[in-house]
Amino acid sequence: MAALGTLYIVSAPSGAGKSSLISALIQKNTNNDLQVSVSHTTRQPRPGEENGVHYHFVDVEQFKSLIDEGVFFEWAQVFDNYYGTSRTVIEEQLANGIDVFLDIDWQGARQVKELMPQAKGIFIMPPSRTELERRLVGRGTDSDEVIASRMQQAVSEMSHYDEYDYLIINDDFEQALVDFSAIINGNRLARAQQSLKHSDMLKDLLAQ
């Protein structure tokens, strides 16, 4: 019997590096048992983003219709945009033994936890406000006003770190990636997960 996948809620202030860490971990994985959930959003695509790969891009009217249809596992309004995650797709992936990452904010995390208390929360922090602002400016995609707004929002976002199971400080990216991987591997080595994955082997080992 295959072990069920684990749902990981990953949150961080904008610029802390959570999307880069998730992408790097998935690229290193060779078993195809790690996936990031593709959310729906009403924001405009950024350069290089593809519909259905990075997000499902919809307009506000379409998004609200999906809410009414009960499609979303969780949804939230962040700044002037809506974000939501399909519950059906995630449940299918978990049933197939795939670990799924949800890249969402603390509001969405609370919604998911209510529906799936066994989900694991990971919060990613920058090493300082100065470094966070440097990263946001370095993107070269936002105006000074937007960056100032994101910095203000970051303080609010970071104040909820204690609602999560794990905390990673992304000062050195490679070390943060090692820490991130350790969380996933540690959970997979838990007795309950190993008992399911190796049930036949354990039965043979313990046969009288």
> How many whole angstroms separate alpha carbon 99 and alpha carbon 145?
37
Tell me the whole-structure pTM to 2 decimals: 0.81
3-state secondary structure of 203: helix
More confident residue, 165 or 87: 165
Q: Which residue has the tokens 């936002």?
A: 142
> How many whole angstroms separate alpha carbon 66 and alpha carbon 54?
19
β-strand partners of 192: none
C-alpha distances (whole Å) from 76 to each of 81, 112, 124 are 8, 11, 19
Asked whether the beta carbons of 60 and 85 are under 8 A apart, the reply is: no
> How many whole angstroms separate alpha carbon 48 and alpha carbon 42?
17
pLDDT above 70 coverage of the chain, percent = 99
CATH class, range 7-37+98-205: alpha beta
Residue type, 24: A
Does the pLDDT of residue 2 top 70, yes or no?
A: no
CA dihedral defined by 111, 11, 91, 88, rounded to 10 degrees?
70
> How many whole angstroms separate alpha carbon 84 and alpha carbon 169?
26
Residue type, 72: F
Q: Give pLDDT tens digits for 148-176.
A: 888 888 889 999 999 999 999 999 999 99
